[in-house]
């Protein structure tokens, strides 16, 4: 009976660290999956930006679905998301930078090739619709990436002990 109680005590003592390891592993797997999808979003928004810019140059009165400035900001944001995930995988999980860079480069090349092939083989209306529809899941992915990248130890909570009063100008 004492041996069983001793074994249960040991298992219970080890349980919290085992759970955090599992959660850490789940976070790492999630970041790897999101990195692949984020690279796709980055490439898709980049191509949307390119084609919207060309449409404005060719037909200045053309009204694109989304403004070029918004697409530029979005494409830039996805590049930052991919780089942040890459840095987190390198720093927190000891992934090798060379591997991450090679993986990212290969993904970018493959996706760019696929989009270029679609551009050459599909009807222009079908291609543009497919390109714009390809990013429908990207906003939800950005929220998921934000939640996985959030470090609870470094999160700043507002100080609610005293009310925030703006300073008066004199």
57, part of any domain:
yes
140, part of any domain:
yes
Q: What is the pLDDT of residue 138?
A: 93
pLDDT in tens, 130-163: 988 999 999 999 999 998 888 655 444 444 454 5
Q: How confident is the model at residue 13 (pLDDT cuts 50, 70, 90)?
A: low
155, part of any domain:
no
Distance (Å) of CA 140 to CA 34, 49, 100, 110: 11, 20, 24, 23
Q: What is the pLDDT of residue 10?
A: 53
Q: What is the pLDDT of residue 19?
A: 42
144, part of any domain:
yes
120, part of any domain:
yes
Q: What is the pLDDT of residue 18?
A: 42
- Expressed as residue numbers, the domain containing 111 is 28-149
1, part of any domain:
no
pLDDT in tens, 47-94: 998 888 887 766 655 555 557 888 899 999 999 999 999 999 998 888
117, part of any domain:
yes
The total number of structural domains that make up the chain: 1
**Residue 23 predicted with pLDDT over 50:** yes
41, part of any domain:
yes
Q: What is the pLDDT of residue 25?
A: 78
Q: Which class for 1: exposed (0-12), middle (13-18), buried (19 or more C-beta within 10 A)?
A: exposed
pLDDT in tens, 95-106: 898 888 898 899
């Amino acid at each position: 009976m004492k041996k069983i109680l001793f074994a249960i005590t040991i298992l219970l003592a080890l349980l919290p660290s085992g759970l955090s390891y599992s959660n850490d592993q789940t976070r790492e797997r999630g970041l790897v999956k999101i990195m692949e999808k984020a690279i796709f979003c980055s490439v898709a928004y980049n191509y949307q930006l390119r084609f919207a810019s060309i449409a404005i140059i060719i037909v200045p009165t053309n009204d694109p679905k989304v403004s070029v400035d918004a697409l530029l900001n979005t494409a830039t944001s996805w590049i930052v998301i991919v780089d942040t995930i890459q840095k987190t995988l390198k720093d927190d999980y000891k992934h090798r930078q060379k591997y991450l860079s090679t993986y990212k480069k290969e993904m970018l090349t493959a996706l760019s090739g696929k989009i270029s092939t679609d551009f050459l083989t599909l009807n222009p209306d079908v291609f543009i619709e497919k390109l714009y529809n390809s990013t429908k899941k990207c906003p939800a992915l950005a929220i998921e990436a934000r939640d996985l990248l959030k470090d609870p130890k470094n999160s700043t909570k507002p100080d609610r002990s005293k009310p925030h009063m703006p300073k008066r100008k004199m």
